[in-house]
Amino acid sequence: MLKQRLPNWLNGVIVALVLFSNVTLWGIIVLVLALLKLLLPFSLLSHLLHAAYFGWCQGNRLALWLGCADININITGTVNRQGWYLLISNHMSWLDIVVLSAIDVLPAPKFFLKDELKYVPFIGSGAWAMGMPFMKRVSKAQLAKNPQLKGLDVARTKRSCRDFHNHPTTIINFVEGTRFTPVKHNAQRSPFTYLLKPKAGGIAFALEVLGEQFDALLNTSIVYQGQGDHICANLLRGRLDSINVDLQVQAIRPEMIGNYQHDQEFRLFFQQYVNDLWQQKDHHLAAYHQAQQTAYVAVTSKEIEAP
């Protein structure tokens, strides 16, 4: 294969160019179509927007193929490209967005994004054009000074989710709210080994608005294997050995849908439900890492014993 014949540095340059060109090209196209849609609200423009978004996803698949030696997508259950899903995942790197958007079996992945990303060229405008919710975390001190900020994320989430009724969609929420790092893990005193503490609100709001339309919950875990600790640097240096995505299709039960903002009993129930999911995910990741370590030790032992 071509990517195996190139020097790592050249492969990295090509991957970087593909990613940059991909987001720039499709970001401009999506923005232009979105502005036209504001002026001329024709249904054709909406279909063209989603076609352009699909083009961006395909470009991401090409970049991953060039930059990673092995990509494994394990799906437990059935996913219908004409369906509606709520996908929750751990968050290891900004590359997670590229990875999840590149899974071709998922219908139109749409992300819950940090509010700061709205100012990133092409990414922010493209996400706005596709109606993705931007989540702005508000501290207790900010709420004390400006009580009107309370419920801002709720309103944004509900408004965005209503826009997803018309097209098969996968709403993606990184439940931890930020990327996992050892520093953040220690600062949180997280009870999990491989995860940060989960935030249940975004999932609950999405379920409240689209719960009856969702076909299933996609409980997803992402693991990267590389020759260094920095995932993105590994991709660009040709040192990303594997990307493993484990996607479990789970039913959405009626008791998972409720008024998270105003029903205290439901809020406590749902927080415990998400914590239980995260505990199971932590065990799953621990088993995976243990299996990888065992395999590594076995290979190393054979190399030592070889004459």
Q: Which amino acid is at 275?
A: N
**CA atoms lying within 13 Å on the CB side of residue 52:** 22
**Whole-angstrom Cα distance, residue 120 to residue 127?**
10
Q: Which amino acid is at 63?
A: A
Is the pLDDT reported for residue 111 higher than 90?
Answer: no
First to last CA, the chain: 31
State pLDDT tens for residues 73-91: 999 999 999 999 999 999 9
Q: What is the mean pLDDT of the chain?
A: 84
Average pLDDT, integer, range 126-142 = 69
Tokens 């975390």 correspond to 137
pLDDT confidence tier of residue 68, bands split at 50, 70 and 90: confident
How is residue 147 annotated by DSSP?
A: G
pLDDT at 56: 92
Share of the chain above pLDDT 90, in %: 44
Number of domains in the chain: 1
Structure-token pair, residue 215: 């076909």
Name, of 16-30, 120-134, 201-215, the range with top average pLDDT: 16-30
Residue 213 sits in a domain of what CATH number? 3.40.1130
Residue 120 lies in domain? 2-305
The set of residues, in sequence order, having a beta carbon less than 8 Å from that of 97 and lying 6+ positions away, is 111
Helix residue spans in the chain (DSSP H) = 2-5, 8-39, 43-67, 95-101, 123-129, 140-145, 152-163, 182-188, 201-210, 231-236, 264-305
